[in-house]
Structures are given as structure tokens and as C-alpha cells.
Amino acid sequence: AAMAEGEELISVNYEVSGKVQGVFFRKYTQAEAKKLGLVGWVQNTSHGTVQGQIQGPTVRVRELQEWLRKVGSPQSRISQAEFSNEKKISALEHKDFQIVK
């Protein structure tokens, strides 16, 4: 059975810049992703950004992208959210949404 538009699965990588380390950004991202039923991961980078991957139904992934662009954790200040390598996938490649140390 074909999935409805917006229900097909996509995978997208992200990198968020700004004041995003030391402000529980990863924890909030994980909570938001789980709330939306998404899988993937999030980690701090050595150059002060937060990066990761999101997978799930297109409509839900778009919601988290918007959240990463505009909301973040309460004390964060997001200057930029970049998304790359977006592609359709036939199945989720992660079991849950993890914080990678």
C-alpha cells in the first residue's frame, strides 16, 4: 500500500550554530524528536555546533526542522540551522533518538 503524501519516510542531516552547547540543547532535541516519534541522533561538535540526523515521516521531520531553526532549548540562541543530504528511505535506520557523546 502506498503511503499518503507526508507519510513517506525521509532522512535528513542537520547542523545548528549559535549558542547551542552547554544549554541542554541535545537533551531538548532528543525529547522533541521522541515526542514527534522520530529517530536519529544528536551530538556536540568540536567547533561549537550541534549536529545529527533525523529520520521519520516527512511531515514530522519538517516539524523538527522548524523547531531546530527557531526554538531549541530555552537558553539556546540559534543563529543558523543547516540541513543536508535529504533523501527518501524505505525503512528507519535507527531504533530511537540518541544523544551521542
As averages over each run of 10 residues, the pLDDT of the chain (101 residues) reads: 70 98 97 98 98 97 98 98 97 97 89
Could you say which of 13, 26, 62, 77 is catalytic? 26
DSSP string, the chain: -PPPTTTSEEEEEEEEEEE-SSSSHHHHHHHHHHHTT-EEEEEE-TTS-EEEEEEEEHHHHHHHHHHHHHT-STT-EEEEEEEEEEEE-SS-S-SSEEE--
The residues spanned by each domain of the chain are 9-99
pLDDT of residue 7: 76
Q: Is 13 in the active site?
A: no
Domain 9-99: top CATH class: alpha beta
Q: Is 69 in the active site?
A: no
Could you say which of 13, 44, 69, 77 is catalytic? 44
pLDDT of residue 29: 98
